[in-house]
Amino acid sequence: MTQMGQVKTSVERKSKSWFDEHAPQIRELKFTLYLLRQSPIVVAGFILVALFIGMAIFAPWIAPHGPEERFWNLPQQPPSWRFPFGTDTTGGDIYSRIIWGSRLDLTIALTVVASAILIGSVLGAISGFMGRAFDEALMRVTDVFLAFPALILAMAVAAALGRNLTNLTIALMVVWWPTYARLVRGQVLAEKERLYVDAARAVGASPARIIFRHVLPNSIFPVIVQATLDLGGVILTAAGLSFIGFGAGAGVAEWGLMIADGRSYLFQSPWIACFPGLAILLSSLGLNLIGDGLRDVLDPRLRR
Amino acid sequence: MPEPILQIRNLKTYFYTYAGVVRALEGIDLDIYQGETLGLVGETGCGKSVTSLSIMRLVADPPGRIVDGQIIYKGEDLLKKSEAQMQQIRGNKITMVFQDPMTFLNPVITIGDQVSEVIAIHENLARDVVRSKIDECEETIKQLDSNSPDRERLMNRVKELEALKDNPPKYSRREMKKATLRRTIEVLKLVQMPSPEKVVKQYPHELSGGMRQRAIIAMALSCSPDLLIADEPTTSLDVTIQAQILALLSELKKKIGSSILIITHDMGIVAEICDRVSVMYAGNIIETAETKALFKNPLHPYTQGLLKAIPKLHRDVEELEIIPGSVPNLIYPPSGCRFHPRCPFRMDICDKENPPFIERERGHSVACYLYQEKK
Amino acid sequence: MKLRHYVIRRLFLLIPVLIGVSMLTFTLSHVIGDPIAAYITSQDLRLSDLQMQKIVTAHHLNDPLYSQYYYYVMDLLRGDWGISRTDSDRPVLVSIQNYFPATAELALVSMFFALIVGIPIGIISAVRKDKPADHATRVFSLVGVSTPVFWLALILQYVFYYQFKVHNLPNLPASGRVNQFLWLDHPLHVITGIYSIDSLITGNFSIFFDVLVHLILPAFALSYVFMAVFVRMMRSSMLEVMRQDYITLARSKGLSERVVIYRHALRNAMIPTVTVAGLAFGGLLAGAVLTETVFSWPGVGRWSTSAIVRDDIASIMGFMLIIAIVYMLANLIVDLLYAWIDPRIRLG
Amino acid sequence: MKMSEKKTSNKKAIAAIVVILIVVVGGLAGYYYAYLPSSRPMVPNPDTYVFSTFGDVDKMDPSVMYDTASGEVAELTLETLVYYKMPGSTTEIGPKLAKSWDMSPDGTVYTFHLDPAAKFNDGSPITADDVKYSIDRTILIGDPDGPAPTLHMHIKGAADYLLCETCWGATNDTMVQAYLNAGGVKVIDPQTVQITLDAPYAPFLATMAFTSASVVNKKIVEANGGVKPGFRNDWMNQHGTEVGSGPYKLTEWTPKTRVVLDRNDNYWGTPAKFKRIIINEVDEVGTRELALFSGDADTITLPATNLFDVIQKDAWLNNRQIVPVKPGITVSLDPTYTVSPNFGMNTKWKDPVTGAVPFGNKDFRYGFSYAFDYTTFINTVINGAGIQGVGPIPPGMFGYNEQLVKSLQFSFSPDKAKQYFLNAKAAGAYADGQVITLYYNTGNEARRRGCLLLKDAIEGLGVGLTIQVQELDWPTFLAKQRAKELPIFFIGWAPDFADPDDYVPVFANGQTGTFARRQGFDDPTIDQKLSQASIESDPAKRQALYNDIETWLFQQAYTIWGAVPLNIQVSRDWVKGWFFNPMFSGPNTSPAAYGMYKEERTDQVAITVGPLPAFIATVATLVVPNYARKSA
């Protein structure tokens, strides 16, 4: 017990390396992981997500057939051992197409969220530090973007750019960056506050240094939570958009499109639309489970 | 000495957090006697508030839990009572006044409603209704001249009502409401709330700090409790108001004759209104004595530190600056006497085992080895 | 009177956002997209240069962007939102008038569903935190937010319309707002365009019930997702409130747990939930786009989706604008509710 | 304590009761109303004919409408001077508003004698003046995307007006005067109209049977915007089918929802049997089918891709036998004059990236023609509801020459295809990695699959070609075709009038032919042969000319001739008196003008599909009888 006290004091005395300086955050992290292991919901989420990522990576080895392999003489076959999820109207094996689809959809989701974080946090950080006019302007801009529901804004942007997968992805980026801009800006402002209060640090701390040393470590958790939740959101929105006619061209193995194709045969061959929908549901459910768990665990108030 | 109305024996309250078990109360003993004012002093985080919450059985569970001990109130152990029974006692027999009137009042409910609900659940208002009816009758009787037929009738009516007094019938919601409101206003008057008729309709944010604290005190006193626990009732108020509130408390104590357990870190307040004082440190009671005795001759090194910390002229100051070190973390408390890491007279034994809490002089108990040897 | 000032102030705050929105739609339709496209009809896809000239001069499409924008806004204010090729060349505003009531009806009913079911569930899971009930509701709501609304809609159709109908059972209608035959037998005098209301006003009950029945599936599909949002929100804000000091005080008064929850906690917990309701309304409108397409519900959502496959930029932008406006109004209303629930606001 | 307890509990109780009431009432009402349509004990509304289809009416004005959905309505509400002899499947022209007509020896002047009985649906008589007004109107509006250019070029003076570039989108008075002075359409007396042609034109009468020659009520049109040369009339776009003389008239048109036609009670001919015709727009084919099975609809549009939802697969595919899979349904498949779908290749298309002009190369075109799996397309995509394409002239029409076609047709052969592609590559028509995008119009399932079929075949050859498949919405699709931006695209033709001259030029005439122009090829000798054929009166010579042209078309392989589809008619068996005529725009509804009716029935209407699971059976026994009684 007393040693405990000893150790702590000695740490304080040592010259501050990044790790020491962020010892609390690191303890926090260890602790967080421990908590995550505890929560069955999060574990379930991880399993689901792992499953889909696995599908995406190992598609060529798992999928019995190619993404665009069609058995023209076997259209609309009900599920069977040969075609676990049945075949679509052009005799494509839905099971294989779902597996290949995971590649496409997850890629879209990751690209969108990653670039949103990048753009968002850069702009957010800048406006947080520069403050005044730039900050004001950026906030007004985000206001405008946030004045639309995600799907609808994406719809309009994609429509203006022209309908194809690339533009769909771009549209989604356009929609998602403001969230992160605001999030990071908030963190920066908070950090600024702290710095002014604790003058010692403020002395000769360059913005860059502050960002890397203080803002990043502090905003990393909220951003992660937001990102996991958004990944799910993007998957849903992207699917929704390609369901109403944006996105991939005919025949491409993309979940939303597959549902759209199955729609006219819903009553005769329900499996065509049913299974891709399940894929969407489960993948975004996985991400939401994780995100939700993280949020609870990282929320200090829910923690006590 | 009259017998205590509340006896706390070896009370242990732990908090089971992810980080570990916080031993907030490590077996404290405390007696509160009929009609006295007991002060419980100590630094922030030494377990004063936990004590009060434990008495009320309001420790949030999870994470907190009362793991051991007894709280004997009128010969019955509160820790053995059912939630329903506790609800009968809370706000009725044992009540509480909290530290911060800003956060302890519900922002979206009018003062009137917040006060009256206590009355509504604990008091038998039917009696009031009867009472008021009788008054009305008697009023009219006074107006009437001696030999009008009504007079006779009213007399009888009064008799009937008098009969009803002990087991009154159910009255309409409206009548009950009227009665409640009347009582509420009375209580607010009692705590010298300015213009109570207006205040009942107002929301907390429309009141000043002092008024809010009065409102809270009103709630606590509306059912004339046996014991009033005041948890740092004045810390968040400015000095002038502090004085008023303290004055009010002691005055009301006389009026109602209830005991007060006042929790504070301000020796000044203690000196002003407490009959006896208990000093807490890191979850233990380390010294209990009559106020005079304690100020005259503090035994425990920590207590001595506390008293030194008070500048003679001015009192409202952070007092613990000159005791070196800081409050130990209660997850990994120091072994033995929890004060030993900061104690100027540390001895070998101190970090081995916890000193027993023994009465050294009459009514003056202390937990420290310094005095063990003298024996 | 304080309230009125408050409303006016909030309305003024909307103006900059509206300007921003118009700028956005302008950029999309005039800078990225081809401005002329907004003003040509389905048959004019091959235009004589003469007509091109007419349109260009009429809408100043050769001017520098800033003046183009000026005229664009002027057109908007004058009510010339372009021509909806999708809707047989009607003016966009007319199309909006025709289709919006349907969407409003669907959205409002779904909102109602979501609230009356979501909030109680949220309370329960907060009160029973970390108990089975809590886990159940949590999973329920997470599944909700992860479900593709259009897929759910299809599944509902398959079960409650197709399977039931196939087995010759009473089934729920899968498309449209009202039964054609019933309509012809009891024609409804349309006033607001929100059929349920109109039929009530005009006392046309056979239509009224029919409208309700037609609402069930779409409204459920749409509301499930948002139910989930409310459950989450209610849960967390309830937990937050239950940690507040005034709850401790309430307990210390000896109030029963139920009274503590319903009289002291609930109203405070409602405050953030109401705010979320405003934001959720936007999401609801977005969801309507998908739901309407599946249930061929003649609302702005379906209109805009068919506009998309026709690259009918005018309709899409019109849709954008109307949604933005509605969304903002929804949030304004929420703020007012907010002020009503929370006495502290009235001063501010 | 007690008090508050009671309060809340009371509130609870009330709330609970209210909720329960709402649920119960709502539920009952729901079941009751939702159940009505499928439980009518006898044939639903015997004097209303309900047609459930997709595709929205575009315009109601006969002078500009040029799509089948609109034509459907026009055929019931508007009438022309002459029409195909009804009822029946013949394409022989007979009298309508004109009880008789005579042709000048040189075949350039036609004189029509109106039927004195003929009157508009407002009761006013139809005069020669109305006729002239209507035809002039169509020409003077001269909508380049409308029917006028295709059908009325031969009327004296019309050609100049319709071909002039400055006459659309603006009123060009000189040209208008020029046309009117040419006197193509003359009023001889109130009962007689005379139409003069530039030159003799064999199919002229047939063109006069098309909707664009419908006679509209002059005074009403004049009262609502009249004629503005070079512009459409917005009022007519909405109400054009209310001002005719047909057996029905438009009562309601809600775009994207439905069209309601009511019987014209002052019809001058034999009145129709149905009091009302409802054309519901239902996009989802599955929903349409259910409407049919439950009796909500009497007939529906069923795409070939869903054929086996209503008839047995094997019986049909193996020995072309129609065996409905459900009782109470009648299905009829009839040969049409429709030539669709076909892939038109754009010989001038230049790849924006590589600069190659692949389709300019004959071998490359042959490659495509051999790479399309015709049999699979016919049997699995359109489910045998059609035959392999036979060139521009459909079977049964004058000029169709079976053995010639058989000798010319391409057949699916990967090896040949590969060979031709390799030759083409050798000749530098394209380099490896060449990308070709196939376009189809949104929502056309057969075409989507056709594209994918072609894609699979060609990419399977491994000749360095990549095929992409893109959807385009119909107007955009057309626009891009006209702009010649599409490398290869679907083309198809449905009859305006029953004559090869309505078909062959479209595909073969590089000067005037809609598709030939878009495919960017032109052969003067062929154009010359075409114009001969159009005026040639000797059938043998005419046949010969068409043979030459068809041979040339096949050998050049400008077009992959996909299929000649069958018309699929699906209706409930109580619909009587239905007949098919290849010239109908609306085969489902148009027979209503010629005595189609619904037979009175007393049997249960809704068709139960599949077995009833036990629990549903119990529910049914509990619920169904009650509601059946209620609704009776």
Task: Summarize pLDDT for D370-380 with one digit per residue, the tens.
Answer: 999 999 999 98
The pLDDT value recorded for residue D454 is: 94
- B290 and B276 Cβ atoms separated by less than 8 Å: yes
User: With a CB-CB cutoff of 8 Å, which residues 74-113 of chain D face chain C?
Assistant: none
Arithmetic mean of pLDDT, D506-522: 87
pLDDT band per the 50, 70, 90 thresholds, residue B18: low
Tell me whether residues B173 and D4 touch, CB distance under 8 A.
no
The pLDDT value recorded for residue A171 is: 92
Average pLDDT of chain B, as a whole number? 79
C87, C181, C212 ranked by CB distance to D29: nearest:
C212
The pLDDT value recorded for residue D330 is: 92
- B267 and B41 Cβ atoms separated by less than 8 Å: yes
As a dihedral over the C-alpha atoms of residue A16, residue A19, residue A24, residue A25, rounded to 10 degrees, the angle is 140
Least confident of A125-134, B290-299, D29-38: D29-38
Is the pLDDT confidence value at B245 over 50? Answer: yes
Is the pLDDT confidence value at B111 over 60? Answer: yes
Is the pLDDT confidence value at B184 over 90? Answer: no
Percent of chain D clearing pLDDT 70 (strictly above): 90
- D82 and D94 Cβ atoms separated by less than 8 Å: yes
pLDDT band per the 50, 70, 90 thresholds, residue A33: confident
Give all strands of the β-sheet with D192-196 in edge-to-edge order. Answer: D98-103, D109-114, D192-196, D185-189
Arithmetic mean of pLDDT, D627-631: 39
Arithmetic mean of pLDDT, B128-154: 76
Distances A87 to A70, A75, A79, C84, D451 between C-alpha atoms, Å: 9, 6, 7, 38, 18
Provide the residue type at D38 as one letter: S
List the single residue in A with minimal CA-CA distance to C238: A302
Arithmetic mean of pLDDT, A202-231: 72
Q: What is the CA radius of gyration of chain C?
A: 24
Tell me whether residues D4 and C47 touch, CB distance under 8 A.
no
The pLDDT value recorded for residue D359 is: 93
Least confident of C76-80, C127-131, D341-345, D425-429: C127-131
* Residue C173 three-state SS: coil
Q: What are phi and psi of B147, to 5 degrees?
A: -120, 55
| The pair of three-digit structure tokens given for residue D333, joined into one six-digit string | 């498949």
The pLDDT value recorded for residue D200 is: 87
Closest-CA distance of chain A to residue C187, Å? 31
Arithmetic mean of pLDDT, D8-32: 71
Residue D600 burial (CB count, 10 A): 9
The pLDDT value recorded for residue D33 is: 54
Tell me whether residues A160 and C290 touch, CB distance under 8 A.
no
- Report pLDDT digits (tens) over A68-92: 889 988 888 888 888 888 899 889 9
Cβ neighbors of D238 (< 8 A, separation 6 or more) are D60, D253
Residue A208 burial (CB count, 10 A): 10
Q: Strands D48-53 and D276-281: what pairing?
A: parallel
C33 DSSP assignment: S
Give all strands of the β-sheet with B64-73 in edge-to-edge order. Answer: B20-33, B4-17, B64-73, B76-77
Provide the residue type at D544 as one letter: A
- D368 and D343 Cβ atoms separated by less than 8 Å: yes
Is the pLDDT confidence value at B323 over 70? Answer: no
The pLDDT value recorded for residue D606 is: 55
Rounded Cα distance between A7 and A28, Å, is 18
pLDDT higher at D593 or A32: D593
Is the pLDDT confidence value at C249 over 60? Answer: yes
Residue C124 burial (CB count, 10 A): 18
Is the pLDDT confidence value at D616 over 60? Answer: no
Tell me whether residues C169 and D59 touch, CB distance under 8 A.
no
The pLDDT value recorded for residue A9 is: 39
- Report pLDDT digits (tens) over B22-73: 788 888 888 888 888 888 888 777 788 888 888 888 887 767 888 888 888 8
The pLDDT value recorded for residue B230 is: 85
pLDDT band per the 50, 70, 90 thresholds, residue D99: very high
Rounded Cα distance between C112 and C115, Å, is 5
Closest-CA distance of chain A to residue B23, Å? 14
Percent of chain A clearing pLDDT 70 (strictly above): 81
- D375: exposed, middle or buried (Cβ count in 10 Å: 0-12, 13-18, 19+): exposed
Arithmetic mean of pLDDT, D357-376: 93
- Report pLDDT digits (tens) over B112-124: 888 888 887 777 7
Give the H or E element holding residue D458: helix D445-461
Contacts of residue C246 in chain B, CB cutoff 8 Å?
103-107
The pLDDT value recorded for residue D134 is: 95
The pLDDT value recorded for residue D37 is: 46
Closest-CA distance of chain D to residue C338, Å? 24
| The pair of three-digit structure tokens given for residue D544, joined into one six-digit string | 């010969």
- Report pLDDT digits (tens) over A148-162: 888 888 988 888 887
The pLDDT value recorded for residue A299 is: 65
Arithmetic mean of pLDDT, B254-265: 83
Q: What are phi and psi of D267, to 5 degrees?
A: -65, 135
- Report pLDDT digits (tens) over D210-239: 999 999 999 999 999 889 998 888 899 889
Cis (ω within 30 of 0) for the bond into B63?
yes
Size of interface B-D (CB pairs under 8 A): 10
Q: Does the beta carbon of B132 lie under 8 angstroms from any beta carbon of chain D?
A: no
Give the distance, in angstroms, between the CA of residue D325 and the centroid of all CA atoms in the same chain: 27
Helix axes A150-161, C266-294, angle to 10 degrees: 30
pLDDT band per the 50, 70, 90 thresholds, residue D40: very low
Percent of chain B clearing pLDDT 70 (strictly above): 92
pLDDT band per the 50, 70, 90 thresholds, residue A122: confident
Closest-CA distance of chain A to residue B335, Å? 8
- Report pLDDT digits (tens) over C12-53: 878 888 888 888 888 888 777 777 766 666 555 455 566 677
pLDDT higher at D491 or D132: D132
- C92 and C315 Cβ atoms separated by less than 8 Å: yes
- D572 and D328 Cβ atoms separated by less than 8 Å: yes
- D605 and D283 Cβ atoms separated by less than 8 Å: no
Average pLDDT of chain D, as a whole number? 85
Closest-CA distance of chain C to residue A41, Å? 8
Arithmetic mean of pLDDT, B323-342: 74
pLDDT band per the 50, 70, 90 thresholds, residue D2: very low
- C242 and B102 Cβ atoms separated by less than 8 Å: no
Give the distance, in angstroms, between the CA of residue D488 and the centroid of all CA atoms in the same chain: 22
**Of D235, D285, D278, D234, which Cα lies nearest the Cα of D257?**
D278
Size of interface B-C (CB pairs under 8 A): 77
Rounded Cα distance between D109 and D107, Å, is 6
- D254 and D269 Cβ atoms separated by less than 8 Å: no
The pLDDT value recorded for residue C49 is: 64
Contacts of residue C158 in chain A, CB cutoff 8 Å?
266-267, 270
Is the pLDDT confidence value at D412 over 90? Answer: yes
pLDDT band per the 50, 70, 90 thresholds, residue A267: confident
The pLDDT value recorded for residue D153 is: 86
The pLDDT value recorded for residue B94 is: 86
Average pLDDT of chain A, as a whole number? 81
Q: Is the dihedral of CA C338, C340, C345, C346 positive or negative?
A: positive
List the single residue in C with minimal CA-CA distance to A139: C17
The pLDDT value recorded for residue D29 is: 65
Q: Is the dihedral of CA D538, D540, D541, D546 positive or negative?
A: positive
Arithmetic mean of pLDDT, A51-67: 92
Arithmetic mean of pLDDT, B346-364: 79
Q: Which residues pair with B94 in a beta bridge?
A: B90, B227
Q: Does the beta carbon of A155 lie under 8 angstroms from any beta carbon of chain C?
A: yes
* Residue D153 three-state SS: coil
Provide the residue type at B349 as one letter: I
Is the pLDDT confidence value at D4 over 80? Answer: no
Least confident of A45-59, B114-128, C109-123, D54-68: B114-128
* Residue C238 three-state SS: helix
**Strongest mean pLDDT among A160-164, B195-199, C316-320, D325-329:** C316-320
Tell me whether residues D306 and A268 touch, CB distance under 8 A.
yes
B87, B103, B107 ranked by CB distance to C256: nearest:
B87
Distances C91 to B179, C70, C87 between C-alpha atoms, Å: 66, 20, 9
Tell me whether residues C88 and D609 touch, CB distance under 8 A.
no
**Strongest mean pLDDT among A217-221, B359-363, D577-581:** D577-581
Helix axes C92-127, C313-341, angle to 10 degrees: 40
| The pair of three-digit structure tokens given for residue B229, joined into one six-digit string | 């626990």
Percent of chain A clearing pLDDT 90 (strictly above): 29
Is the pLDDT confidence value at C347 over 50? Answer: no
Tell me whether residues B108 and C254 touch, CB distance under 8 A.
no
Q: Does the beta carbon of C326 lie under 8 angstroms from any beta carbon of chain A?
A: no
Interface confidence, given as ipTM, is: 0.78
Per-residue DSSP letters for D381-427? ISTTSEEE--SSSPTTSTT--HHHHHHH-----HHHHHHHHHHHHHT
Q: Does the beta carbon of D484 lie under 8 angstroms from any beta carbon of chain C?
A: no
Rounded Cα distance between D398 and C299, Å, is 49
Tell me whether residues C170 and D32 touch, CB distance under 8 A.
yes
Provide the residue type at B229 as one letter: I
3-state secondary structure chain B: CCCEEEEEEEEEEEEEECCEEEEEEEEEEEEEECCCEEEEECCCCCCHHHHHHHHHCCCCCCCEEEEEEEEEECCEEHHHCCHHHHHHHECCCEEEECCCHHHHCCCCCCHHHHHHHHHHHHCCHHHHHHHHHHHHHHHHHHHCCCCCHHHHHHHHHHHHHHHHCCCCCCCCHHHHHHHHHHHHHHHHHHCCCCCHHHHCCCCHHHCCHHHHHHHHHHHHHCCCCCEEEEECCCCCCCHHHHHHHHHHHHHHHHHHCCEEEEEECCHHHHHHHCCEEEEEECCEEEEEEEHHHHHHCCCCHHHHHHHHCCCCCCCCCCHHHHCCCCCCCCCCCCCCCCCHHHCCCCCHHHHCCCCCCEEEECCEEECCHHHHHHC
Rounded Cα distance between A209 and A215, Å, is 9
- Report pLDDT digits (tens) over D269-310: 999 999 999 998 887 787 888 788 878 889 999 999 889 889
Q: Does the beta carbon of D624 lie under 8 angstroms from any beta carbon of chain C?
A: yes
